[in-house]
Structure 1
Amino acid sequence: MSDEHTPDGEELDLIKFESPGRFTLHNPESELPTPATWEPAPFVLGVEQALQRFSLADQARAHALALMQQASLTLCLYSPDLEPWLYHHSSIQQACTQFLLGNRNRRLRILLRDSNRAVRDGHRLIALSRKLSSYVQIRRCHPNYPAPESAFLLADDQGLLMRPEPDQFAGYAKYQDPAHVRQLRRLFDQTWDTSITDPDLRSFLL
């Protein structure tokens, strides 16, 4: 009787030993925390004059990364919700970190229409603002004041990335357009002056 039970017991032990745990350790999920590095668009801030139109997400990402990597003074980001498909990435976080640490006078200002999604899901730029709170400011538009409908990024006094319809990928980038940047900077500053510190963002940062 013991000989008959022993093989059965061994088989059951082997089946349990080879069940899902071993396979999940080697599934693709383990690679997700390290997404592929983005490549910046091949244009020089303050030099390239042609309008660069784009319609794909990857193109928007390349222009945003190029502008952030080349900025040397200020970055102003206006976004409906810190669009994770565009700004929640290690390449963007690294570019902003290098920008801010390159000079103590550099600043990144982020203005949001709604912070709920970024607070709920987490965001790399919010995490960066926690680490470099003296250099990064994040505020939310005041609900009682008008706010821009478009989404845009301003790099120094030269470059911009504009997406007129924030729910779409399409837009354009300019690497040398001081007049347009000044116009958008005035709009950004006006909205910033009436913006509020979001208590949800503050509690998240704590």
Structure 2
Amino acid sequence: MSNPEETRPETRKVLTSTAEIRDAILEITANAQRSVAIFTQDLEPFAYDDDQFIEIIKRLILARSFARVRVLLADPYRAIRDGNRLVGLGRRLSSYVEFRNVHKDFREQHGEAYLVADDKGVVYRADARRMHGIADSSNRGVARKYLEEFDHIWHASYAEPEFRRLHL
């Protein structure tokens, strides 16, 4: 009888560059069926203002009326000022995409960046300022750990009114 761990395909990748992190975010997000949770310092443009990423998010929320995208930002003002397209999409589809400003009590404790898709895929960087991390497309235990942390911070954080404003 074979060991299930031996036959399980390797789903974890070590990420060492901006391109690898971006590609992992695209891959993990494309596999989402219900939800995407993003914890970011400033909605990094290389990943979250990317044409492919925006299209993947649009497809997810337009194909499934129950799909949700939640974004926690430690510093939302750069994304707002620079016109990040995910912010624009969230303004147009606010029933599906919600942004919150990380509560000040959590900002200094949490310098990481991560994305969790459904409750199984995760892209994680321990230090958001560095382009080193891991991605795992099928690890419910790890994904749930980060989703629980995300939910805890989400409930303590507040909606940023600027994210709802449409600038005409």
Q: Number of residues paired by the alignment?
A: 160
Task: Work out whether residues 153 and 160 of structure 1, in 8 Å CA contact, stay in contact via their aligned partners in 2.
Answer: yes
For each residue in 1:99-132, what CA deviation from the matched residue of structure 2 results, as whole angstroms up to 9, or x when unmatched? 1111101100001001110111110100111121
Task: Work out whether residues 130 and 205 of structure 1, in 8 Å CA contact, stay in contact via their aligned partners in 2.
Answer: no
Indicate the residue corresponding to 1:160 in structure 2.
122
Whether 2:136 is the aligned partner of 1:174: answer yes
Indicate the residue corresponding to 1:135 in structure 2.
96
Question: How many angstroms apart in 2 are the aligned matches of 1:95 and 1:48?
Answer: 25
Indicate the residue corresponding to 1:120 in structure 2.
81
What's the CA shift for 1:55?
Answer: 0.6
Counterpart selection for 2:54 from 77, 86, 93:
93
Q: Which runs of 5+ in 2 are unaligned?
A: 1-7
Against the structure 1 CA distance between its residues 84 and 48, is the aligned structure 2 distance closer, same or farther, given a 3 Å change threshold?
A: farther
Indicate the residue corresponding to 2:15 in structure 1.
54
Indicate the residue corresponding to 1:9 in structure 2.
none
Whether 2:153 is the aligned partner of 1:191: answer yes
Higher RCO (Cα < 8 Å, 6 or more apart)? 2
Structure 1 residue identity aligned to 2:131: F
Against the structure 1 CA distance between its residues 205 and 74, is the aligned structure 2 distance closer, same or farther, given a 3 Å change threshold?
A: farther
2:145 match: secondary structure: helix
Q: Which runs of 5+ in 1 are unaligned?
A: 1-46
RMSD: 1.7
1:203 match: secondary structure: coil
Question: How many angstroms apart in 2 are the aligned matches of 1:204 and 1:118?
Answer: 14
Question: How many angstroms apart in 2 are the aligned matches of 1:109 and 1:48?
Answer: 29
- TM-score, length-scaled by structure 2: 0.89
Structure 2 residue identity aligned to 1:124: R
Structure 2 residue identity aligned to 1:55: T
Indicate the residue corresponding to 2:5 in structure 1.
none
1:110 match: secondary structure: strand
Larger strand share, 1 or 2 = 2
Indicate the residue corresponding to 1:66 in structure 2.
27
> Share of identical aligned residues, percent?
29
Question: How many angstroms apart in 2 are the aligned matches of 1:140 and 1:178?
Answer: 26
Q: Which has the larger Rg?
A: 1
